[in-house]
Structure formats: C-alpha cells, structure tokens
Chains A and B, each alone.
Chain A
C-alpha cells in the first residue's frame, strides 16, 4: 500500500534509534551493566595474548617450569573469568530485552486501539502487524547484539590498538592506516543501506497484507477459482522482495569485503615490518607474537562492524516504521474545537438525539470533493425511534458512526439530551449509545461475553437471557456449551443471521438510552425478522433510536422516518406519509416511481 509508505527522510540512524530510549530506560541499569561486563570480558580476552607473551619471553625462554605452571594457571583463571562474564552479560539482558520488546508491542497495540477509525481505514492491517512483529523482533536483536557489540567491539579495538601501540608504535601505526578508508566506506554504505532496508521492510508489510487478505477473502477466491492468480500476485510481490533483499546483500557484500581486506593488508604489512625488526634485533620474538596475536584477536571485532552496522541500520528503519504509527495522534480526549457546550439546561425541545447542521467530510478526502454529509438537521425525540432511509452510498452508515464518535464531525454538533457529544468523555458517550453494526463482528470469546460487552459489569445472566430473547437468539442456549461456547475467530463459526442476532443482543443488553442500529435485520429470514421486530418494539418503546433501514419491514419498527439524500435530511414523516408524498422515498421503498419515470 504505497499510501502508507512514508518517504525515507534524511534522518540520521542514531537520532532515530535514540527514540527507543523511553523503552530502554527502565532496563538501563541492566543493559549498561551488561555492556560493561561485555567490555571487561573482551578486555580479558585481550589480556590472554599478553600472558602468552610473558610466558614465551619469560619462563619458556628461561626454561623455568614453575613459571610455566604459573602462566598456565593465569591463563586458566582468565579463561574462566571470560566465560563467566560472557554468560553474565547474556543473563543480564535476556529477560529485560524480551520485556522491552513486549512493552513496545503492548504500547503499539494500545495505541492502535485508540487511533481514529479513519486511520484504520487508511492502513492495511498487514502493515500494522508487520510493525508489531518482525520490526520489533529486529529491535530486540539490535538491543541484544549490535548495540552492545558496537560498543564492546569499539572499546576492544581501541584497547587492542593501544596495546599494540604500546608494544611497538610503528607497527601499531601501520595497523591503523586502513581505519580512514574503512570509515568512509561505512558512511557511504550506511546511507544506501538505510534506503534499501526500509524498502524491504515495507515490502514485507505488503506481503503480510496480501497473505491476510487472501485468508480473509478465501471464500471469494475459491468462489471464483482465483487461487492461482492470487498466488501469482503473491509470487510477484515476494519476487520483488527477493530483488530488494539481493540489493541489500550487494551492499552488505561490498562493505564486508572492504572491511575484511584492508585490515588484513595492514596486518600483512605489520608482519613484514615486524619480521625485519626481529631480524635486526630491534624487537623480541615474543613481542611480535603478542602483537600479531592481538591484531588477529581484533579481526572479529573489525569484521563484525559491517553486519553490526547493517543490523543497526535495519533497526533504525524499523524504529522509524514503529514511530510512524506511534506518532499518529490518538482520538482527542475531548472534542476538537467544538467545546463551546451550550450552557442551556436541557430544555424539553433539545432532549433526545439531535443533529444540528452537521457536516462531515472524511479527513483524507480531497478538499474539492463534496462532503458526505452537508448540513444534517434532525431531532429524534426522547423515546422515539427514527428510521434512516437513503439510497445505497448516501452516507447512512457514516451518519450513524458520528454518534458514538467513531469519526469526528467536520462542523455542526450532535447533542444527547442537550449535551454536546464532544463535551463528554468518549467512554461515557459510548456507554450511553449502543450500536449494532451492519457487519456483525464477534470477538474470540464466549457467546455470553460477546453479548455482555454491551452492558456494564453489573449485568448478569438475567440480562443476557433477556437480550438473547429480544434478538431471537435463543439458539445460543443450544450451542455445544450453551452461552459459554467460544465464538469468533477462534471459535465456532456462526451464520450471518446468527451473528447479526447476537450483535443485536449486544446492542440491547445494556438497556441503553440511545440505540443506533445499522440495518440490523438484513441477514434474517422473514419469520425471524418478524419475531425480532415484535420483540424490538418493546425495547424501542422507551429508547431513543436511530435505525438505518433498507426495507419497509424495518422502517415499520420506527415511529418516524428520515430520508437522507444529497447529504441532507430532505424529508421526515411517517412511513405512510412519505410513501404518499415523497417520490424518492416511494422509489427506495418499492423500487417503483422515479426509476420508471426515467425511462
């Protein structure tokens, strides 16, 4: 989804990675201790060649058995220390780093749950998922290895070079010559690699999206026998990803070969020079052995810089991707700009659910496009139920989404019993308004839990039974484990009609003051629909309700009907009134009228 792809800004990897600090902070003591331990362990590793030198030049040359024993003992002790320190380092970070990963994931999940619905409309969930999984794993690995080892290896190299300079400064300088070209290569490499790494991560996200959609849309793919073309599309995407990975590999191979070759050449030069000096008697053989041993011990730290940098770079782009989502502002706690709550006490004329000059345009819609809702004025009196009728795509669902503030109004206001919905906390608003969506989603929980979600915690079995009977969803009792049967993604799959009835039960279980139903009976057969309607009438008697309806049968549930057309409410009245007086309404309800006139 190219729309979700931010352009790679020219931000330094270090600055990006610094944003991880708040997550790392709680475990900083352990992380720093671990890094310190790692440095000490590496230094111990560097001392070992010095002991060897001491042995070769001292006891071995002097044929001193006691000294040899002592040297071997030192070696053993240093070796044990090194092993324990390495283990200590890993032990120190194992749990904290898993914790950092988990915290970041929990935060992402938390934040995503609170981002505006418009955000979710825009972002494919595969892209979100890849940020929550692969990207975070990359970050954990970064904290575990590259971060520590860039430090450790840096210190190791510094100490090693110092030791070498102390042993023989000319040889030491020779060893240092390649440092400058290696650094330049690293800087150039870093820039290019960042770009390709970001590309690869985004492509992984796209791939995740295709996988997800192909699973969620499996019935359509099978219904049309399209699994081959779907597989082809997937293959193309994964081939693109392969191409990007190969480009990444090309860059990595280049830097790696530079990092391997240049220091090796320097070591060779030092060897030749050292040999000459030993031959001339300017240098002891033991010193040369120790010097080269140190130089060779530095090989791995130096070699590793290539892939450590690569991993850091990938971690930086993963961080960027993570914060791209985290930086999105969540739903504001209160309304945006509309806080001028009317000071009037709830007068009888503004009780109920009232829309006043409501305008709405999707925030990401082009500026010149007509708004979806263009001046809605509608008053639903307390206890009244209002059907909302309009042509397919006229904005009925959008209008219902405004009441629980799933979207924010562009302008105008909606009041519940005189109180502006933007003036109350969302929690409170959403507990007042119960909704049943067109698409009845059940969560992975028991039937009972799914229904009781609509009520506060005090609701019990009696409320559940009542709601199930209103929605004609008594089938729930006959499920394998009754109302404890697991449903949703990880449970029993129910038919569309069954899910719709449970969603309806969920909407009415809390005896809400305000009820918003989006075409709540579309998947029910005629008999069930009639039964639900009969039961709903009782509920609706004392509930202020807005009901989106496509059919006369649903419309008849309501006291009055509002016709939504061209972004405005163009007519309000009873079903029979409108049927007689409004041609558009008559057309929508019976399919006759206008359409016939057109011909």
Chain B
C-alpha cells in the first residue's frame, strides 16, 4: 500500500478495530478502486490462463482454418465456373461443371460440419478459461487477509468475479472467434487476390495500412473508456449490495428516496461511460468502412480499366470483386472484437490487480505439524513471545508483551471496548500476524502451520454470527465438513440449540435462506457455537460470542464449556461478567496492556479494576 498516512489511529477510544484507512485521502487506491497492477500482469494473466489449453486452442484454430478454407473456396469456384465450365459446357464437356457442382457441395457440407465442431471446441476452451479464472479470483480472495477484506469492500470483490469475468466471457465466446475469422479471411483473401492478380492484390493489401492505424487509434481511446467503465459498474454494485443487505434499516429510516438519488447518480455515471464506449465504436466503424469502400472503388476502377484494355480477364475481375466485398466484410466484426477485447482488458487489469495482492497473512511454504497431544488433554499451550502489534499506518495497538496460557486453561479477557481484547484474539487466531514477536502453539509458531493444522489448533467464534445459504445442518457442519448427522445433532444438543432447531419447519434440513432472516440473532450465535464445538479445536476463542444470548442460553454455553470443552485451552472475551465465572484466570486489559492477571477469586477480592467491574455487575443483577 502506497497510501501515505494522513490519520492517526484513534487509540484513545478504540484502537481495536477502527482501522486507519486513510479514507479521507483521495489518492488511496482502495477508495478509487484502482489497485496498482504490476506492468505486464494483465498479459501474463491471460497467458497463464491459456497456456494449459494450448493444444485445444491450436485444435480450435485449425478447425477454424479449415472451415474458412471451405468457405473461401466459393468465389474461386465461381471464377472457375465462369471462365472454364461455361466454355467447356458449350463444347459439350460436362466434366468441369460436374467438378464445380461436387466441389461446391463438399465445401458446403465441410464448412457446416466444421462450424459445428468449431463452436463446440471454442466454447469448451472459453468455459475452461472462465472456470479457471473464476476459481483463481475466488481462491485468492479467500486467501487474502481480513484487513484486505475490510478495505476492498464486498461489492467490489463481487464485481470482479461477476461483471469483470463476464466481459472476458464475451471476448472468449464471440471475440476470439471474430479475431481468428477476421485475420484468416484477411490472409486468405489477400492471398487469393494476389494469386488472381498481383496488381489488384497489392492495392488491397496496401489498404491495410490505414486500417491498422485506425485500429491503433481506436484501441488507445477505448482502453481509457473501458477502464473507467469497469470502475463505474463496480461502484453501482457496491451501492446495490449495501442497500439489499441493509434493507431493514433502509426501510425503517426511510432511506428509499435518498438511496434512489444516490444510486441514480452512480448509475448515470456508468450510463455516460457506457455511451462513450459505444460512440468510440461508432467512430471506428465509420472510419474503417470509409477506407474499405474507397479501396473497393479504386480496385474496381483499375480492374475495369484493365479489362477494357484486355490486360485482365473478365472472370478474374468478377472473382476479385467478389473477394473484395468479403475482404472488408469482417472489419465491423474486427471492431466488435476490439470492443470486446478492450472491455475484457480493462476487466482483466482489475482482476490482475486483485490477484497481485499478496496475503499479509501468508500460508507457510514448508508447514510444520503440531506435536502430538500429550495424555488425554485436548488443549494446547499458547505463548505470546515478545509480541507487539501496530497497524501499518503506525499507531501501536498492543505494546510488546509476553503471555503464557497453559494447556487446558480457560482465560477470560475483560476490559473496556477498545482495550485491545479483540486484537489479542485475532493474533491468536492468526487473522493478523504480530508486528514483532511470535505467537506459539505448543512451541510452534502459528506462521509455520498450514491452514487445516492451524484450524485444528485454534478456532474463533465471533459476535457476528453469519449464516450461509443452505440448511441449518450444513451451517453447523462448517465446523467439520465430514461430520455425520449424529455428530452435528450432538454438538447442537450440547450447546442447547437442538430444541429450537428441531422446532423449525424442516428441523436441521431447514434452508436458512438469505442470511437467516428468520433465525434470531441469539439462535444464530448458538449455531455458531455448535460449529465451534464440532470443529473440536485445541484452543477455542470466543470473541463476545454470547452477546445476543439470553441468560439461559449463556448458561447452556457455559455448561458446554465445562463439559464438552473441558480440557481445551479457551480464551473468552466477554462484556458479561457471568461468563467470567467459569474462567480459571482473568486478564484485565487497558490501552493495549494487561493490567491485572489472576484467578477470578483473587481479583474480586482485590481492589483493582476487575473488583470494580464485578461490583457493578453484581449491582445490575440486583
């Protein structure tokens, strides 16, 4: 990120999450949706997509070559018929005419058959490229770290993998075929014309020079327009997604009209550049047609002159004229190709920019495995070894500290909003890497663990309990995809979620539809817990994970922690001191530092902050 720092982190209130994003800085590439694309990245992306399909691209091209050969043979047969078959027929020699008939029939059948084969082959190539590209974007986006996602916005990522991929699809589906057809027919027809008559052919070939210049000019102008267009549609999508996901507050706060106006503005911006793009195309079409039609007139003039002066056969002129019409036929289609190409290039550039982002929390190249668990303890020891954490933009969130959590210990972390509790949890879950120092799990640096191993070790349940489309059972199974129905139900029972799930219309098989609109926040948190239970990690982190639960729900979770989760290392971040009661140890954090550390009984008996908090909480129970 090259964005200069213009803002200090707001450490006084909440250094936990307010990520200084320099959103006030108009040059931030994230804000303007212009991530830097390394030079040549677009081309090398396209290359890397096509390389594995080299053989099939070659086959597809060959099919098209043959098909074009069959198609282009037509005028040749016409010339042959007029110049040879007519006189021969007059001399009662039917041979040439039969040859023409058979030849034409063959050409028709072959070109039809090849057309069929070509369409299939080319769509297969393009679909494979798209499959590959979609997968790459998806996997890469998933591999990028949380802080990237917090900056890039979901709408843009969606735009990259939908509309931007779509424009590549158009290029591959229609554009590539256009290009090959156009180039081939240029080559074929030029060759034919040169062969029929070198003079006429030379004039035709000479006309390519102004056409080429025209194409270059168009390309230069179009690339700018399409770049703007890709950004514009992404902005539309961002707004669309945000509105649909927040439809309840939109309604309740009567945002409809304001949103309409804002959306209209974004939409209009897209409309304008879209129109600009189409107008560029119109200019190209006029220019190229003018060049082509002038060339036709010149060639015919010269050809006719030569026929008139007997230096050219009439049949040759006829064939040449037929070819000429065909020579310039595809220039519109060349325009369409260029159009598709520019649009795809702009999109690919954006995609390449996304793919060039390196995960700030990379997976290890040579992963280490965790040592085997000792005895029957499922927990592992956690050590923060000289850890310090600050945001890239400066501003220290957690000053250097050391902390050891013995295997099997349940540790509660309390403190005001923004004391650094969540950051501590995120370091332990490896959502972030520490700026200095190491986080060790049974002596192994988290950075050396492959993802599956890491998640067998550490799982974090957060406050936001998002549900994915699918059934309730599938949502729980995210904890362990190979879990059986019995295991899923056991996890749900242990956490106290079984009751409400079985009361749902389809029980565990109920489709949660969109983001679980009908499942209450508390119930969603229970599902999230069941997920964590199923994952069966050595270290469990609960980050305000019980905030929406009622007291009985919280009790059920606590019971589960003291039975099912017994022996695991647990880090519990909670505002509710009721959760703290089950902890073996309490850490009180303030301004990124651990200010108190001891057993709940010790701290309550003391005179520190925890004792105050505890008293306040007791009072609230009254």
Contacts and interface: CB of A to CB of B under 8 A. Distances in A.
B244 A393 contact: no
B322 A124 contact: no
A365 B242 CA distance: 27
B101 interface: yes
A328 interface: no
Contact of B115 (A122, A256, A275): A256
B19 A492 contact: yes
Contacts of A498: 14, 17-18, 417
Contact of B82 (A278, A366, A525): A278
A216 B469 contact: no
Interface in B496-537: 500, 503, 505, 511, 513-515, 517-523, 526, 528, 531, 535
A122 B81 contact: no
Interface stretch (B373-381, B396-404, B486-494, B547-555): B547-555
Given A90-B278, A125-B241, A220-B462, 6 more contacts: A79-B293, A90-B281, A113-B243, A220-B478, A234-B135, A289-B322
Interface in A350-398: 362, 365-366, 369, 391-393, 396-397
Nearest to A79: B293
Interface string A303-320: 000000000000000000
B244 A234 contact: no
B480 to A, nearest CB: 9
A498 B329 CA distance: 64
A109 B240 contact: yes
A9 B563 CA distance: 55
Contacts of B36: none
A215 B140 CA distance: 12
B283 A242 contact: no
B26 to A, nearest CB: 12
A229 B23 CA distance: 34
A272 B135 CA distance: 54
What are the 7 closest A-B residue pairs judged by CB atoms, nearest first? A79-B293, A225-B455, A261-B112, A268-B104, A87-B286, A83-B289, A90-B282
A86 B113 contact: no
A524 B575 contact: yes
20 contacts: A79-B289, A83-B285, A220-B478, A229-B478, A260-B111, A261-B111, A268-B101, A285-B318, A289-B82, A293-B325, A401-B248, A435-B253, A453-B253, A475-B14, A495-B14, A519-B548, A522-B548, A523-B547, A526-B575, A591-B578
B547 A208 contact: no
Interface stretch (A48-56, A167-175, A416-424): A48-56
Given A264-B107, A453-B255, A480-B7, A102 B268 contact: yes
Contacts of B416: 525, 527-528
Interface in A533-565: 550-553, 556
B10 interface: yes
Given A55-B304, A490-B153, A524-B575, A393 B422 contact: no
B613 A257 contact: no
A73 B263 CA distance: 53
Interface stretch (A59-67, A150-158, A462-470): A59-67
A336 interface: no
Interface stretch (B126-134, B190-198, B214-222): B126-134
B157 A215 contact: yes
A226 B241 CA distance: 24
B436 interface: no
B500 A393 contact: yes
Contacts of A454: 253
A46 to B, nearest CB: 11
Given A80-B290, A526-B577, A254 B116 contact: yes
A276 B89 contact: yes
Interface stretch (B43-51, B143-151, B382-390, B592-600): B143-151
Given A102-B271, A279-B86, A3 B511 contact: yes
Nearest to B88: A279
A137 B166 contact: yes
Contacts of A63: 308-309
A89 B362 CA distance: 53
Contact of B517 (A120, A217, A438): A120
Given A98-B275, A257-B116, A590-B621, A278 B253 contact: no
Interface string A486-520: 10111111111110000100100000000000010
Given A120-B247, A133-B163, A97 B278 contact: yes
Contact of A552 (B135, B268, B292, B621): B621
A106 B264 contact: yes
Interface string B16-38: 11111111100000010000000
B232 to A, nearest CB: 11
B209 interface: no
Contact of A129 (B6, B244, B268): B244
Contacts of A271: 77-78, 81, 100-101, 104
Contacts of B575: 523-526, 529
Interface stretch (B199-207, B295-303, B344-352): B295-303
A267 B238 contact: no
B166 A279 contact: no
Interface stretch (A13-21, A188-196, A243-251, A338-346): A243-251
Size class of the contact patch on chain B:
35 or more
Interface string A177-216: 0000000000000000000000000001001111111111
A125 B622 contact: no
Interface residues of A, number: 194
A488 B243 CA distance: 11
B89 A275 contact: yes
B179 interface: no
A316 B275 CA distance: 23
A478 B613 CA distance: 25
A228 interface: yes
Interface in A428-443: 430-431, 433-435, 437-439, 441, 443
B314 A219 contact: no
Interface in B275-333: 275, 278-279, 281-283, 285-286, 289-290, 292-294, 296-298, 300-301, 304-305, 307-309, 314, 317-318, 321-322, 325-326, 329, 332
B296 A392 contact: no
A102 to B, nearest CB: 4
B435 interface: no
Q: Which of B253, B264, B522, B622 counts the most A-chain CB atoms under 10 A from its CB? A: B253
Contacts of B157: 211, 215
A229 B455 CA distance: 13
A581 interface: no
A590 B551 CA distance: 6
B514 A123 contact: yes
A160 interface: no
A249 B119 contact: yes
A583 interface: no
B82 A288 contact: yes
Given A109-B240, A528-B417, A72 B547 contact: no
B621 A219 contact: no
Given A122-B514, A133-B162, A226-B478, A84 B105 contact: no
Interface in A1-17: 1, 3
A297 interface: yes
A72 B297 contact: yes
A406 interface: yes
Contacts of A493: 17-19, 21, 150
Given A1-B469, A293-B321, A113 B520 contact: no
Contacts of B550: 391-392, 550, 588
Interface string B241-272: 11111111111111110011001100110111
B469 A279 contact: no
Contact of B154 (A122, A216, A401, A526): A216
Interface string A257-270: 11011101101110
Q: Which of B243, B548, B552, B621 counts the most A-chain CB atoms under 10 A from its CB? A: B552
Given A68-B305, A105-B267, A268-B101, A95 B275 contact: yes
